[in-house]
A and B are shown apart, each in its own frame.
Chain A
Amino acid sequence: DGGITQSPKYLFRKEGQNVTLSCEQNLNHDAMYWYRQDPGQGLRLIYYSQIVNDFQKGDIAEGYSVSREKKESFPLTVTSAQKNPTAFYLCASSQRRGGEQYFGPGTRLTVT
């Protein structure tokens, strides 16, 4: 089955720790994205990548970092510099930049 997987579904961390969220796709898509979703708000773009070894900041990149060493994988690191990291994180991919996006099931991160 083709799709996007995110792991884990729930993640708990102590304040001050970095944490990495996994995103893998087997759709052979070139572009991948990370969004943050907070209650009552829409999706906000954190980072996106159009091809391997290239990525661009989105609207709220501060306190986050990404890498794109393989086409299938686009991990997101939430660093200790992110002031309000508790949120629902969604990964998406599209065949190309500007194409319709397919979403993973999300990771709910709680930092205390």
Chain B
Amino acid sequence: GDSVTQMEGPVTLSEEAFLTINCTYTATGYPSLFWYVQYPGEGLQLLLKATKADDKGSNKGFEATYRKETTSFHLEKGSVQVSDSAVYFCALIGTNTGNQFYFGTGTSLTVIP
């Protein structure tokens, strides 16, 4: 079935470091891909999305490119800030599985000054 695999956390970076959080997926058909962010004690917020191969989603300095050849949707940011400390979830909507949403297990990021 459809699934999403994220890199294990936690990740700790210094302010202004480069961030990559890996996400790969398994899906039949042509899923849409998402990154959500969860700040402590809050719900999830949509960070960015891509709906077809080679699309790049971007928001607040974060980017991710939908790579069908490697079935990946890695999240990147060139210079992280303390305020980026949160848990990041990769997710997909499968097109062949009743449009169900599948979430990764989340990657915790802590940015230290």
Contacts and interface: CB of A to CB of B under 8 A. Distances in A.
Given A43-B89, A98-B93, A106 B42 contact: yes
Interface residues of B, number: 20
Instruction: From A6, A43, A45, A99, name the one whose CB has the most chain B CB atoms within 10 angstroms.
Output: A43
B105 A106 contact: no
B61 interface: no
B91 to A, nearest CB: 8
B42 A105 contact: yes
A40 interface: yes
Instruction: From A4, A98, A104, name the one whose CB has the most chain B CB atoms within 10 angstroms.
Output: A98
Interface stretch (B19-27, B43-51, B63-71, B78-86): B43-51
A2 interface: no
A90 B44 contact: yes
B42 A101 contact: no
A68 interface: no
Given A90-B43, A100-B34, 5 more contacts: A40-B105, A43-B44, A100-B32, A103-B43, A106-B42
